[in-house]
Amino acid sequence: MLLELLKKRRSVRKFQEKPVETEKLETILQAGLISPSGKSKRPWEFVVVDNSKKLEKLSKAKPAGGQFIKDAPVAVVVLGDSQKSDTWIEDGSIALTFMQLEAEEQGLKSCWVQIDKRPSEDGRGADAITREILGIGDNLKVLAILAMGYPAQERPPYTEEDMEFSKIHYNSYGSAYKRR
């Protein structure tokens, strides 16, 4: 059941020193490739990084919140072509979410590291640094990095108590949603 998978999916920032099997990674990437996009333009591209030196460099691209990338066995950098589609951010986000869910299905954990519009210590921005590390031209923008691997920490699944049903409105904003 999809809802059970969604409840189980929690961001994890500590990973085992165990590589992700090629078959699992390929399945995760396929999930991203079949994700829906506006007008089926598919403006995203993915860069798979499993080189420890590059992962170390990427962990420094966004100093606040990206340090754990260096300890992940693999990361997928999600790029978008803003010339191809004005919904590149949304489309890339959907692809990234599909990959997160497939990673969970494969017994892996992941964490999304936002790169677009995030600062860097040298003032160039996390996007520019990531593009430089990976040799990405100016025609593509870096949305985020999905770090993943086998978890070295456990987090409990979400429960109904974690769900804020007060954020659901029925027929108009402000009218309380009543669970049926």
Q: What is the token pair recorded at 165?
A: 């049903």
**Sorting pLDDT into bands at 50, 70 and 90, what band is 177?**
confident
Is residue 174, in this structure, part of any structural domain at all? no
Is residue 179, in this structure, part of any structural domain at all? no
What percent of the chain is helix, strand and coil (3-state, nearest 5)?
Answer: 40, 20, 45
Is residue 172, in this structure, part of any structural domain at all? no
- Find out whether 82 and 75 touch, Cβ atoms under 8 Å: no
**DSSP code per residue over 115-140:** -TT---TTSS-HHHHHHHHHT--TTS
Q: Which run of H or E residues covers position 49?
A: strand 44-49
Q: How far apart are CA 142 and CA 9, in angstroms?
A: 24
- Which of 34, 130, 141 shows the shortest CA–CA distance to 85? 141
Is residue 13, in this structure, part of any structural domain at all? yes
> Position of tokens 């997160």?
100
Is residue 32, in this structure, part of any structural domain at all? yes
- Find out whether 38 and 85 touch, Cβ atoms under 8 Å: yes
Is residue 175, in this structure, part of any structural domain at all? no
Mean pLDDT across the chain: 96
Domains in the chain: how many in total? 1
Is residue 51, in this structure, part of any structural domain at all? yes
Quick check: 176 pLDDT over 90? no
Percent of the chain's residues with pLDDT above 70: 99
- Find out whether 66 and 113 touch, Cβ atoms under 8 Å: yes
- Which of 65, 73, 68, 143 shows the shortest CA–CA distance to 108? 73
Alpha helix ranges (H) inside 34-156: 52-61, 88-105, 126-134
- Find out whether 78 and 145 touch, Cβ atoms under 8 Å: yes
What CATH number does the domain containing 80 carry? 3.40.109.10
Is residue 177, in this structure, part of any structural domain at all? no
- pLDDT tens-digit map of 43-97: 999 999 999 999 999 999 998 899 999 999 999 999 999 999 999 999 999 999 9
Q: What is the structure's pLDDT at 56?
A: 97
Instruction: Print the domain residue range for 68.
Output: 2-167
